[in-house]
Amino acid sequence: MEKNKVFKKFQSFQELKIQKNSSKKDILEKIKKILKENSSKLNTYFTTENQKLLNIVLEDLFTEKEKAKFCFTLKENSIAEINTLDNIDVLKYLIHRYRYEIYPQKKIIDNYPPLVQIEPSSICNFRCVFCFETDKTFTNKKNGFMGTIKLDLFKNIIDQIEHNVEFVTLASRGEPLIAKEFDEMIKYTSGKFLNLKINTNASLLNEKKCHSILESNVKTLVFSADAADKKLYSELRVNGKLETTIKNIKMFNSIKEKHYKNNKIITRVSGVKFTSDQKFEDMEKLWGDLVDQVAFVDYNPWENNYEKEANNITESCSDLWRRMFIWWDGKINPCDVDYKSNLQIGNVNDLSITNSWNSDKYNDLRKKHLDKMRSHLTPCRSCVQI
């Protein structure tokens, strides 16, 4: 990574190819139609606060003031997500997409984080060269970082965020499908969130897990794969085999085709752009027929942040207003760059999600960033994320 390069979390897609998508114009027409059909019922669907927010969202979308500093607009991936939704859910989605995109820019916090990232397991069967799972002080069982979430704790988290958070990701430091109770967990989320995403390396996908995912209203299933060539794939995804990933994605597609034809799940192959040997054209050629979207995301060099020297970045990190991470043992952390929890906010076993999001500890961290003092925090001092 070139010196002083920052990792912009809000623009992490370096490339994104969506096989079939609507135009922004068509989506805006769809939104207008939904508004017209539901105009008299909006106050039954939304709180006064959310109605106000919806008005701001709509003003941004329809007045085309895109050059304004904080104007909400619809990116390609949001358009694809809206395409899978109907009626009032589209308006609800817009409110929560706005919270996800604009709150971190305007530095707004309300009662809940725009997105909660829950970690089913911190254990991974791969050792990707760009990942902190290569850090033996992290993976050594004796050091206490490795484990899998208990179903009761998972359910408690889901109960707290249902109706309050619509954007949820099941994944963080490890491979989520390693969790033995994954099927029960995913079933428990069913029908509760508008935008539930799972990130997996696909190696542990089996028929049962495919059914669980397809039965449970998952919005996006991301298969992490960074190359289209066997050798390069295994060099980057150490312990992984390209043939297995392809075979498992094909199995998922065939189960979907046979049993869940009307399921609108979005599938994406997403790779970390790590070396110049990885070519997006090759990725598109191989994966384009197997999934709905193919992407490269920027490499965030997080695997050795605790040892690196401080950089000179002073801009605050947007994740402090965007995502909350809850790990398998209940730890609440502001990000996964800090994979050893130096910045831990609390534990969901003794602090509620809403109290934690608004806690003095979280706010102190935010204030340090706003005061351009991230150099006083480890690992923010050497982290390139903004």
282 is written with which tokens? 């090759």
Indicate the residue among 246 and 337 with the shorter CB distance to ligand SF4.
337
**Which tokens in the block code for residue 139?**
């993976």
Sole residue written with tokens 């912009």: 8
What does the DSSP 8-state code read for residue 316? P
| 8 Å CB contact between 168 and 116 | yes
* Contact window for ligand SF4 (CB under 6 A) among 59-67, 135-143, 265-273, 375-383: 375-383
Q: Which stretch binds ligand SF4 (CB under 6 A): 85-93, 210-218, 253-261, 332-340?
A: 332-340
Q: Does 335 bind ligand SF4 (CB under 6 A)?
A: yes
By CB under 6 A, the count of residues binding ligand SF4 is 12
Q: Name the minimum Å distance from CB 336 to ligand SF4.
A: 8
Closer residue to ligand SF4, CB minimum distance, 51 or 134: 134
CB of 383 to ligand SF4, least distance (A): 3
Q: How far apart are CA 374 and CA 145, in angstroms?
A: 25
The secondary structure of residue 11, as a DSSP letter, is: G
Q: Show the binding pattern over residues 282-321: x = contacts ligand SF4 (CB under 6 A), - = does not.
A: -----------------------------------x-xx-
Question: Is 385 a residue that touches ligand SF4 (CB under 6 A)?
Answer: yes
Q: Which stretch binds ligand SF4 (CB under 6 A): 150-158, 203-211, 220-228, 378-386?
A: 378-386
CB of 347 to ligand SF4, least distance (A): 18
For residue 243, give the amino acid letter: E
- Indicate which single residue of 128, 161, 236, 380 sits in contact with ligand SF4 (rule: CB under 6 A): 380
| Residue (265 or 337) nearer to ligand SF4, CB | 337
Angstrom distances, CA of residue 217 to CA of 90, 189, 192 = 15, 8, 8
Which of residues 4 and 44 has its CB atom nearest to ligand SF4 in the complex? 4
Please tell me whether residue 179 adopts helix, strand or coil conformation: coil
334 binds ligand SF4 (CB under 6 A): yes
Q: State yes or no: residue 337 binds ligand SF4 (CB under 6 A).
A: yes
**Nearest approach, Cβ of 357 to ligand SF4 (angstroms)?**
14
Q: What residues pair up with 355 in beta bridges, in sequence order?
A: none
State yes or no: residue 379 binds ligand SF4 (CB under 6 A): yes
How many C-beta atoms surround the C-beta of residue 85 within 10 A?
Answer: 19
CB of 31 to ligand SF4, least distance (A): 33
Phi, psi angle pair for 37, to nearest 5°: -70, -25
d(CA 173, CA 146): 10
Angstrom distances, CA of residue 349 to CA of 5, 91, 230, 240, 336 = 38, 33, 43, 35, 19
Task: List the Cα angle 197/199/204 in 5-degree steps.
Answer: 125
The nearest distance, CB 109 to ligand SF4, in angstroms, is: 14
Residues in 182-201 that interact with ligand SF4 by CB under 6 A? none
Q: Which sign, positive or negative, has the C-alpha torsion 189, 190, 192, 193?
A: positive
Q: In whole angstroms, give the CA distance from residue 161 to residue 165.
A: 5
- Asked if 182 contacts 120 with a C-beta cutoff of 8 angstroms, the reply is yes
Which of the ranges 96-104, 188-196, 254-262, 335-343 carries the binding residues for ligand SF4, by CB under 6 A? 335-343
Near ligand SF4 by CB under 6 A: residue from 115, 294, 338, 339: 338
- The site for ligand SF4 (CB under 6 A) is made up of 317, 319-320, 334-335, 337-338, 374, 379-380, 383, 385
